[in-house]
């Protein structure tokens, strides 16, 4: 059957639109995959979003799904939807390189999240690039080189889910699986003008675990909040292999009362905020207030967390690689080796002081969220920097990227759901990102608020 939709039309569809097209017999998953392959293979901008593409497997899966759909059997919202996997997550038979020259063995089995996506009918077609072992929010690695922002290829796509963000921003499918241990879904989403959702800790199963398990969340990048909602319906299921996995619970809330919303322009670090970002943030708040929402500015008083977080981060890098043979460790990239050496010489007193400070910050945020349902902040200090830089207006700040963006990582410490949303752009067309954070387990409330925000900005 030939498609009634053009390849361009297939690629413009969101998750719900793809399912609708299949049900209306406008084409099959094979048409979707062929359109995707043609677009990726014809790109001449050097976006470099993928470290692996497996079209044979994707087309085989698409044909099987098309045959099932022809008999009238549809599995759910991700059935026949192409989804990429960040290369920190195992996919059976595909190498897990983690952006490194020191890794790369084919995975013996799917990670639990991949199992859930397959069972839902998702078509896995490739693995997206990541920074080496996800240690930084730049968009480059020794294994795959520089991943570029489709909105301006001279600029960073952010990280560590750099390929996932670049893929969706380029229009190569509506959904990508990323991971976020300090902002690695939300930061690239903000730089690429996307929606990035980090759910409550444990909402998406994470094993195999790592030294970063206490901070690490899986999450989705998409063009619309609704696509994240549909992905969570399918993938946000408990799994006994993850000891943090969330089994069904319902927050006890009065859903009819007005939401209590706070806003903060400063959080987590003392980095400068771009004047354009500050103006865009103020305009977003003003639009919410014009729509009847009350937003109370607050000062969380948490601008000194970045050094403590960097101490723990470096120690976890040391923990990750201290058992490796020296020869293998020497194959790590120069930046990751610097961080390893920093962690290697930390004292117990320094690590204890860092953990103590993060616990204090977590308690302070818990008090804040006892008064408010949602906190709004910028997602990043400004627009996407040039590739190879952390911030456009503050170059050369060293390796501690937490000092350059304090908005994201506090909510990995507290395990809260957080959502990055586009909220306008500068004169060059580069997007500004808004972060919205809700209390733990209130993922549904946050996603619905995000959809309402999109409507307030005129996003259908």
Catalytic residues: 86, 160, 184
3-state secondary structure of 127: strand
Alpha-carbon gap, residue 148 to 263, rounded angstroms: 31
Which residues are registered as beta bridge partners of 100? Answer: none
Which residues are registered as beta bridge partners of 155? Answer: 386
Alpha-carbon gap, residue 106 to 101, rounded angstroms: 14
Burial of 385 from C-beta contacts in 10 A (0-12 / 13-18 / 19+): buried
Alpha-carbon gap, residue 304 to 272, rounded angstroms: 14
Q: At what angle do helices 55-70 and 29-41 cross, to 10 degrees?
A: 160
CB under 8 Å to 231, separation ≥6 — which residues? 15, 77, 78, 83, 175, 220, 222
Q: Name the phi and psi angles at 427, rounded to 5.
A: -65, -20
DSSP letter string, 341-385 = HHHHT--HHHHHHHHHHHHHHHHHHHHHHTT-SEEEEESSSSSPP
8 A C-beta contact, residue 201 and residue 209: no
CB under 8 Å to 217, separation ≥6 — which residues? 179, 180, 181, 185, 198, 199, 200, 201, 203, 204, 206, 412, 415
Alpha-carbon gap, residue 432 to 363, rounded angstroms: 29
CB under 8 Å to 134, separation ≥6 — which residues? 88, 98, 99, 159, 160, 179, 181, 184, 212
Q: Name the phi and psi angles at 55, rounded to 5.
A: -70, -30
């Amino acid at each position: 059957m030939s498609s009634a939709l053009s390849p361009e039309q297939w690629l413009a569809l969101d998750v719900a639109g793809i399912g609708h097209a299949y049900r209306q017999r406008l084409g099959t998953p094979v048409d979707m995959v062929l359109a995707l392959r043609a677009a990726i293979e014809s790109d001449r901008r050097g976006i470099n979003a993928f470290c692996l593409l497996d079209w044979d497997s994707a087309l085989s899966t698409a044909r099987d799904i098309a045959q099932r759909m022809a008999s009238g059997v549809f599995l759910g919202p991700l059935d026949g939807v192409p989804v990429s996997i960040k290369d920190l997550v195992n996919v059976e038979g595909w190498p897990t390189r983690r952006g490194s020259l020191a890794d790369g063995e084919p995975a013996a089995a799917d990670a639990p999240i991949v199992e859930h996506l397959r069972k839902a009918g998702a078509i896995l077609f490739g693995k997206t690039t990541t920074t080496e072992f996800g240690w930084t929010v730049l968009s480059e690695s020794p294994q795959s080189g520089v991943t570029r922002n489709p909105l301006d290829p001279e600029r960073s796509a952010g990280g560590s889910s750099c390929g996932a963000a670049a893929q969706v921003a380029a229009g190569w499918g509506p959904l990508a699986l990323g991971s976020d241990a300090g902002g690695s879904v939300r930061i690239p989403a903000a730089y690429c003008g996307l929606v990035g959702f980090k759910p409550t800790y444990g909402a998406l199963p994470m094993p195999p675990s790592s030294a970063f398990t206490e901070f690490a969340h899986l999450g989705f990048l998409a063009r619309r909040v609704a696509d994240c909602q549909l992905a969570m319906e399918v993938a946000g299921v408990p799994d006994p292999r993850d000891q943090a996995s969330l089994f069904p619970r319902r927050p006890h809330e009065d859903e009819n009362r007005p939401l209590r919303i706070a806003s903060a322009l400063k959080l987590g670090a003392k980095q400068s905020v771009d004047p354009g970002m500050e103006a865009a943030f103020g305009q977003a708040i003003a639009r919410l207030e014009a729509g009847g929402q009350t937003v109370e500015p607050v000062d969380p008083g948490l601008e000194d967390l970045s050094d403590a977080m960097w101490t723990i981060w470096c120690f976890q890098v040391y923990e990750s690689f201290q058992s490796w043979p020296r020869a293998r460790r020497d194959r790590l990239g120069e930046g990751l080796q610097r961080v390893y050496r920093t962690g290697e010489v930390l004292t117990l007193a320094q690590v204890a002081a860092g953990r103590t400070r993060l616990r204090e910050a977590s308690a302070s945020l818990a008090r804040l969220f006892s008064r408010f349902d949602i906190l709004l902040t910028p997602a990043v200090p400004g627009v996407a920097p040039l590739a190879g830089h952390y911030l456009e207006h503050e170059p050369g700040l060293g390796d501690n990227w937490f000092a350059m963006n304090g908005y994201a990582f506090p909510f990995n410490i507290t395990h809260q759901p957080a959502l990055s949303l586009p909220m306008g752009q500068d004169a060059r067309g580069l997007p500004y990102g808004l972060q919205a954070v809700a209390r733990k387990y209130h993922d549904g409330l946050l996603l619905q608020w995000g959809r309402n925000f999109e409507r307030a900005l005129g996003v259908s």
